[in-house]
Amino acid sequence: MSLLKALENTQVINSSGMLIATTNGKRTAKEWAILATNKILDVADNAPQPIRDQALQFQGRILSVIENYIQMAIDEQKAFMLNDIKNIHRGVSG
Protein backbone atom coordinates (compact mmCIF):
# COMPACT_ATOMS: atom_id res chain seq x y z
CA MET A 1 0.00 0.00 0.00
CA SER A 2 2.98 2.33 -0.11
CA LEU A 3 1.79 3.91 -3.36
CA LEU A 4 -1.18 5.31 -1.50
CA LYS A 5 1.20 7.74 0.16
CA ALA A 6 1.63 9.44 -3.19
CA LEU A 7 -2.01 10.48 -3.11
CA GLU A 8 -2.78 10.74 0.59
CA ASN A 9 -3.15 14.52 0.37
CA THR A 10 -5.72 14.32 -2.45
CA GLN A 11 -7.93 11.83 -0.56
CA VAL A 12 -9.03 10.04 -3.72
CA ILE A 13 -7.94 6.54 -2.73
CA ASN A 14 -9.17 4.61 0.27
CA SER A 15 -7.15 2.17 2.37
CA SER A 16 -7.98 -0.70 -0.01
CA GLY A 17 -6.44 1.12 -2.93
CA MET A 18 -9.80 1.78 -4.58
CA LEU A 19 -10.52 5.09 -6.26
CA ILE A 20 -13.51 6.58 -4.49
CA ALA A 21 -13.69 10.19 -5.64
CA THR A 22 -11.99 12.80 -7.75
CA THR A 23 -11.63 16.47 -7.06
CA ASN A 24 -12.44 17.80 -10.53
CA GLY A 25 -14.42 14.97 -12.12
CA LYS A 26 -11.54 13.29 -13.90
CA ARG A 27 -8.73 10.99 -12.88
CA THR A 28 -5.10 11.77 -13.55
CA ALA A 29 -2.70 9.41 -15.27
CA LYS A 30 -1.01 8.93 -11.89
CA GLU A 31 -4.30 7.91 -10.21
CA TRP A 32 -4.98 5.34 -12.94
CA ALA A 33 -1.39 4.12 -12.72
CA ILE A 34 -1.63 3.65 -8.95
CA LEU A 35 -4.80 1.61 -9.35
CA ALA A 36 -3.20 -0.58 -12.02
CA THR A 37 0.03 -0.99 -10.08
CA ASN A 38 -1.83 -2.03 -6.94
CA LYS A 39 -3.65 -4.69 -8.98
CA ILE A 40 -0.37 -5.97 -10.44
CA LEU A 41 1.74 -6.01 -7.28
CA ASP A 42 0.66 -5.75 -3.66
CA VAL A 43 3.46 -5.49 -1.13
CA ALA A 44 2.57 -7.12 2.18
CA ASP A 45 3.24 -5.08 5.29
CA ASN A 46 4.59 -8.18 7.05
CA ALA A 47 7.01 -9.24 4.30
CA PRO A 48 10.65 -9.64 5.40
CA GLN A 49 12.37 -6.25 5.09
CA PRO A 50 14.85 -7.14 2.29
CA ILE A 51 12.04 -8.61 0.17
CA ARG A 52 9.74 -5.71 1.01
CA ASP A 53 12.39 -3.15 0.01
CA GLN A 54 12.99 -4.88 -3.32
CA ALA A 55 9.24 -5.23 -3.97
CA LEU A 56 8.65 -1.54 -3.23
CA GLN A 57 11.39 -0.56 -5.69
CA PHE A 58 9.85 -2.79 -8.34
CA GLN A 59 6.40 -1.42 -7.56
CA GLY A 60 7.75 2.11 -8.09
CA ARG A 61 9.17 1.15 -11.48
CA ILE A 62 5.86 -0.44 -12.51
CA LEU A 63 4.05 2.74 -11.47
CA SER A 64 6.41 4.91 -13.48
CA VAL A 65 6.05 2.82 -16.66
CA ILE A 66 2.27 2.60 -16.43
CA GLU A 67 1.88 6.31 -15.68
CA ASN A 68 4.10 7.18 -18.64
CA TYR A 69 2.12 5.03 -21.08
CA ILE A 70 -1.23 6.26 -19.79
CA GLN A 71 -0.08 9.85 -20.21
CA MET A 72 1.16 9.13 -23.75
CA ALA A 73 -2.25 7.61 -24.58
CA ILE A 74 -4.03 10.67 -23.20
CA ASP A 75 -1.77 13.02 -25.15
CA GLU A 76 -2.25 11.02 -28.35
CA GLN A 77 -6.03 10.98 -27.93
CA LYS A 78 -6.03 14.76 -27.43
CA ALA A 79 -3.95 15.20 -30.59
CA PHE A 80 -6.31 13.01 -32.63
CA MET A 81 -9.35 14.89 -31.30
CA LEU A 82 -7.76 18.25 -32.11
CA ASN A 83 -6.91 17.04 -35.61
CA ASP A 84 -10.49 15.82 -36.11
CA ILE A 85 -11.85 19.20 -34.99
CA LYS A 86 -9.51 21.01 -37.38
CA ASN A 87 -10.59 18.73 -40.23
CA ILE A 88 -14.27 19.34 -39.49
CA HIS A 89 -13.68 23.10 -39.68
CA ARG A 90 -11.86 22.64 -43.00
CA GLY A 91 -14.64 20.46 -44.32
CA VAL A 92 -12.51 17.33 -44.49
CA SER A 93 -14.18 14.11 -43.34
CA GLY A 94 -12.71 10.91 -41.91
Average pLDDT value for residue range 39-65: 94
Measured CA to CA, the distance from residue 40 to residue 37 in angstroms comes to 5
**Domain definitions of the chain by residue range:** 2-90
Q: Are 66 and 36 in contact (CB under 8 A)?
A: yes
Q: Give 1-60 as a DSSP string.
A: -GGGGGGTTTT-B-TTS-B---SSSS--HHHHHHHHHHHH----TTS-HHHHHHHHHHHH
pLDDT digits (tens, 9 = 90+) for 10-26: 445 554 556 556 656 68
Average pLDDT value for residue range 70-79: 94
Inform me whether the pLDDT recorded for 72 exceeds 90: yes
pTM of the model: 0.67
